[in-house]
Amino acid sequence: MDSEDHVTGPTRRQMLALAGVAAGVAAFGGIGLDASPARAAVAWRYPFDREYPVSSGFGDRTPPVGGASSNHQGIDFAAGIGVAIHAVAAGTVITAGELDGWKGFGKLTRIQHADGYTSWYGHQSSIAVGVGTKVSAGQYIGQVGSTGTSSGPHLHLGISTSEGFIDPSFILRAPKSDDSSAPAAPRDDDFALIKSPGRGSAVIGAGYFHALPSAEFEACALVLAGEPIEGNDREFDLWKSIALSGTTAA
């Protein structure tokens, strides 16, 4: 894209947003996971100011204690009691305490973010925010504990969308909470259109992923981003993973 493209009309992101309004597409709905109606890029942060080992990954596992799940819907960080926990992205607190139907998480904080994501912080010893609190990326929200169904002190971190929980391992590559170099919003000429038979179409960029919910969105994105990069579902997932873990150039 040349420099004139930046000063002669709406940006690609603005056009996509306008197309969304015109299409009247509703934001992803419930299943109890509180997807956000906002559809904007998320700048992710690591939940601590230093690295901690992952003691349990996402997906199938042998339950570490009675009552724990064999299908782990998050990742566990082996951090000690009282270690400060930080928000992985900016958003609004929607849970601060025990949650009906999710008592195994013990003291739980949930934060609703842009682009339909909700972050879950389980087994806390203390919570420093309340429902309705607006938090920034990297903000202190509480301390590691071992409340609920737990085999020992750790942070359970989950990331959900309207469709369920997703693997939050991309957080492992995010800037630390004391790092001011959080990913910047992607530039308009950093976007690409990707497509696969089972996943549909999406717009990706550095630190950005936006699934296109209708043919109207896809047609708009085709005009703005050019011909799609087409592949199989595995390739689509890899492109998404690479995009979400990327950052824009300085």
The DSSP-derived string for 53-107 is -EEE-SEE---SSTT--SEE-SEEE---TT-EEE-SSSEEEEEEE--TT-GGG-E
Residue type, 233: D
pLDDT in tens, 97-115: 988 878 888 999 999 998 8
Q: Which residues pair with 230 in a beta bridge?
A: 195
Band of pLDDT at residue 36, cut at 50, 70 and 90:
very low
With a cut of 60, say whether residue 22 has pLDDT above it: no
Closest to 55 in 3D by CA, of 151, 159, 142, 141: 151
Q: What's the N-to-C CA distance of the chain in angstroms? A: 17
Q: What is the pLDDT of residues 149-181, one digit of tens each?
A: 887 889 999 999 888 898 888 888 898 887 544
pLDDT at 29 over 70: no
CB 145 within 8 A of CB 66: no
Q: Is the pTM of this model over 0.85?
A: no
Coil vs helix vs strand at 170: helix
Split at pLDDT 50, 70, 90, the class of 34 is very low
Task: Lowest mean pLDDT of 48-52, 55-59, 156-160, name the range.
Answer: 55-59
Mean pLDDT confidence for 228-246: 83
Per-chain mean pLDDT for the chain = 76
Least confident of 5-14, 78-87, 118-127, 218-227: 5-14
Ranges of CATH 2.70.70.10 domains, the chain: 54-173
Quick one: pLDDT at residue 246?
58
Note the CATH number of domain 54-173: 2.70.70.10
Contacts of residue 12, Cβ cutoff 8 Å, sequence gap at least 6: 188, 189, 191, 224, 225
Is the separation of the CB atoms in 146 and 152 below 8 Å? yes
Residue 89 near residue 36 (C-beta atoms within 8 A): no
Torsion of CA 242, 78, 88, 124, to 10 degrees: 150
